[in-house]
Every structure is written in structure tokens, then in C-alpha cells.
């Protein structure tokens, strides 16, 4: 098998590039430092992250147990608030059990931020008349609104709107597609 000069040159460049990519950076290790702005673990068992030119950092070993727990709880609440779509069973406006903790996190966020507003958009699948589906989307949005208010949000922070079957999330008449269209979406403004 004959290789052209271009193929040989390309293979040579690829090999040189591979060796260059695998070589060390030339940094030396002195006094246990690694040439990075993050120390993996300090002697007390915590980690320290440095940032900026002043080399000031934040060390997890300086946090109290209560502060660590509060930070973990806040992170968990923020993660719950990433969920903004809530699904409903066929022909109901009853909030599912697995959505309640997430909605409580949203209600607490709204209570802590009185200037924040949210629009609740109610939707339905394609079964039923347009009028019925508009009413069902409204009942779903109102159910979420009541839940948020009971858990600390203010009525003035919440607007509800129903789109019925007009704005499907997924096109199609399969049960899976219709299940994704029976929803309320929270849109923070």
C-alpha cells in the first residue's frame, strides 16, 4: 500500500501533536503546591478555593456545622426551583404529591422576594372542546396559585393565564405526548 507525501506529513504532524499534548507543562512542584489555584485538601480536612489576585480564599474548614447545613439546605432549595413545569393527570386540577416540595420551595422564594412576580400558565391536552380545555387550564393554574399562597407567596406576585390546548409542549396524540401537555408552567418575570 502506497501512502502519499501529504498523508505521511499529516500522520507526522498528528504524532507530534499527540506527544506535545501529553507532555508536562514544565511547572515544578515546590512545598506541596500544584501550580493551581485550588488546594485539594488542607491539613484540617477542609478544602480551600482561592480567587483573584489577592489570593484570598474561602475555606470550608472555617464554616461551622450550622453554616454548612444552611448552605446545603439553600443549595437544595435552589435546585428544586429549577423545576418550573408541573404535570397533571387526565381531566384533573389536583397537584401531584411529588410536585408539592418543589412548589413549597417556589412559595418560600416568592415570600422572601416580595418584588418577584410569576406567571402561571395552565395547559391541557387536545381531548375535549377548546372551551373545556381553557377552563381546565385555568383550574390547574388556580390550583397552583392557591398552593403557593397557602405556603407563603403573596397573591399580588402571581398572575394566572390559561392556554388550554393551544400551546402544546409536544405534538402528537400518544398518551406520552398528551401527558406532557397537561401542565402548569411557572414563568418568573
For residues 153 and 179, membership in a common domain is answered with yes
Q: What is the Cα–Cα distance from 136 to 131, expressed in whole angstroms?
A: 9
Q: Quick: pLDDT tens for 11-35.
A: 655 565 555 555 555 555 455 444 4
Query: Is the pTM here over 0.75, yes or no?
Result: no
Long-range contacts of 150-155 (CB under 8 A, 24+ apart): 150/107, 151/103, 151/104, 151/107, 151/108, 151/111, 152/107, 152/108, 152/110, 152/111, 153/106, 153/107, 153/110, 153/111, 153/118, 154/110, 154/111, 154/114
For residues 174 and 99, membership in a common domain is answered with yes
For residues 90 and 177, membership in a common domain is answered with yes
Q: Which three cell numbers stand for residue 168?
A: 402544546
Number of folded domains that form the chain = 2
Q: Name the pairing type of β-strands 118-123 and 57-59.
A: unpaired
For residues 177 and 87, membership in a common domain is answered with yes
What is the average pLDDT across 116-136?
A: 97
For residues 145 and 162, membership in a common domain is answered with yes
Range of the domain at 76: 46-81
For residues 61 and 100, membership in a common domain is answered with no
The CATH code of the domain that includes 87 is 3.30.1330.60
Q: Quick: pLDDT tens for 58-102.
A: 555 677 888 888 888 888 878 888 999 999 999 999 999 999 999
Q: What is the Cα–Cα distance from 125 to 166, expressed in whole angstroms?
A: 9
Domain final residue pick, 55, 81, 107: 81
For residues 71 and 141, membership in a common domain is answered with no
Question: Residue 43 — φ and ψ, nearest 5°?
Answer: -65, -20
Contact present, 117 and 160 (Cβ < 8 Å): no
For residues 55 and 135, membership in a common domain is answered with no
Amino acid at each position: 500500500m502506497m501512502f502519499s507525501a501529504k498523508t505521511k506529513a499529516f500522520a507526522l504532524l498528528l504524532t507530534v501533536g499527540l506527544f506535545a499534548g501529553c507532555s508536562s507543562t514544565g511547572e515544578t512542584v515546590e512545598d506541596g503546591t500544584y501550580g493551581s489555584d485550588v488546594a485539594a485538601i488542607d491539613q484540617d480536612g477542609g478544602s480551600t478555593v482561592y480567587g483573584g489576585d489577592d489570593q484570598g480564599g474561602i475555606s470550608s474548614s472555617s464554616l461551622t456545622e450550622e453554616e454548612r447545613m444552611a448552605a446545603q439546605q439553600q443549595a437544595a432549595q435552589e435546585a428544586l426551583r429549577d423545576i418550573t413545569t408541573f404535570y397533571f393527570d387526565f381531566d384533573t386540577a389536583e397537584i401531584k404529591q411529588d410536585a408539592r416540595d418543589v412548589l413549597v420551595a417556589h412559595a418560600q422564594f416568592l415570600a422572601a422576594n416580595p418584588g418577584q412576580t410569576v406567571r402561571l400558565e395552565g395547559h391541557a391536552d387536545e381531548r375535549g372542546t377548546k372551551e373545556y380545555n381553557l377552563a381546565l387550564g385555568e383550574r390547574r393554574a388556580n390550583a397552583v396559585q392557591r398552593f403557593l399562597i397557602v405556603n407563603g407567596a403573596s397573591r399580588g406576585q402571581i398572575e394566572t393565564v390559561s392556554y388550554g390546548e393551544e400551546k402544546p409542549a409536544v405534538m402528537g396524540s400518544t398518551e406520552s405526548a398528551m401527558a406532557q401537555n397537561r401542565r402548569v408552567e411557572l414563568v418568573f418575570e
